[in-house]
Amino acid sequence: MVDNRLEEMRLQVIDFHNKHPEVWDLFVRFSFEKIKCGFKNYSAKAIVERIRWESDVGGDGVAQFKIGNNYPSFYARRFMRAYPQHEGFFRTRKQTSEDQDPTRKPEITPEDIYED
C-alpha cells in the first residue's frame, strides 16, 4: 500500500514504462534532438506531446491513453538521472503530490470519459 499520491503515481508510471519502453526511447531521442539544437532547457511536457503527435506508442487510445498527463515530470527526472551531464535540462519543482493522500483509484481510461 502506498503512503501518498506521489508514490501512487510513480507506481503507475513504472507500470506504464514496463509495458511501453518505446516511449522512453522516444523521450530520450527527442530530448537529445533539442540538446543538439542548442537548447539549454526544454519542456518535458512538449516532448511528451510530440510523442503523442508523431507516434502511436504507449496505448491504444481506446482502453488506455497513450501517455498520462502526470508522466512528463517522471520522465524528465529519469532522463536527468540517466544523463547527469544534462541535469537541469528539464526544470523541475517539488512534487506536491508527496503531501497528498493517495486516491486509491485506478488510472482513468478513455472509457471513463467517452460514451458511445
* C-alpha gyration radius of the chain: 15
Q: Name the DSSP class of 114.
A: -
Q: What is the pLDDT of residues 1-40, one digit of tens each?
A: 788 888 998 999 999 899 899 999 999 999 999 999 999 9
- Exposed, middle or buried, 71 (CB in 10 Å: 0-12/13-18/19+)? buried
Report CA torsion sign: 97, 100, 101, 106.
negative
- Whole-structure pTM value: 0.82
Going by pLDDT thresholds of 50, 70 and 90, the confidence category of residue 116 is low
> In this structure, are residues 81 and 70 in contact, taking their beta carbons and an 8 Å threshold?
no
In the structure grid, which three cell numbers stand for residue 7, read together? 508514490
Question: Residues 62-101: pLDDT tens digits?
Answer: 545 578 889 999 999 999 999 999 999 999 988 877 778 7
Distance CA(10)–CA(18), nearest Å, equals 12
Spatial contact of 66 and 22, defined as CB atoms under 8 Å apart: no
CA dist 52 and 49 (Å) reads 5
